[in-house]
Amino acid sequence: MPEFARGWWEARRASQADGERIRGTLGDLLDRVFMILEDHSVDPAFAEPGDLDGTALRNAVSATWTAFGSRRG
């Protein structure tokens, strides 16, 4: 999971630096994943009570993806 979280942050920073903005349903999905990652500590040494572990992160992103798919019809 650390690879996913680090890759996500790097891609998001690069996207924003390039001026990319995503709106609509896809933007909502990406914003939700961003918020989920806010509740995950990439380095377990810095994890706080209530932070998502790797399994909980995977489950939350998977549930978000499933909800996104059902919204698309």
Q: According to the model, what pLDDT value does residue 4 have?
A: 82
Q: What are phi and psi of 39, to 5 degrees?
A: -95, 15
Q: According to the model, what pLDDT value does residue 26 have?
A: 84
Nearest partner of 35 among 14, 63, 15, judged by Cα: 63
Q: According to the model, what pLDDT value does residue 65 have?
A: 92
Report the share of the chain in percent with pLDDT over 70: 96
Reply yes or no on whether the pLDDT at 20 is more than 90. Answer: no
Nearest partner of 33 among 66, 70, 65, judged by Cα: 65
Which string of DSSP letters, residue by residue, matches 36-59? Answer: HHHTB-SSGGG--TT-B-HHHHHH
Q: According to the model, what pLDDT value does residue 63 have?
A: 95
Mean per-residue pLDDT, 19-45: 86
Confidence tier at 72 by pLDDT (50, 70, 90): low
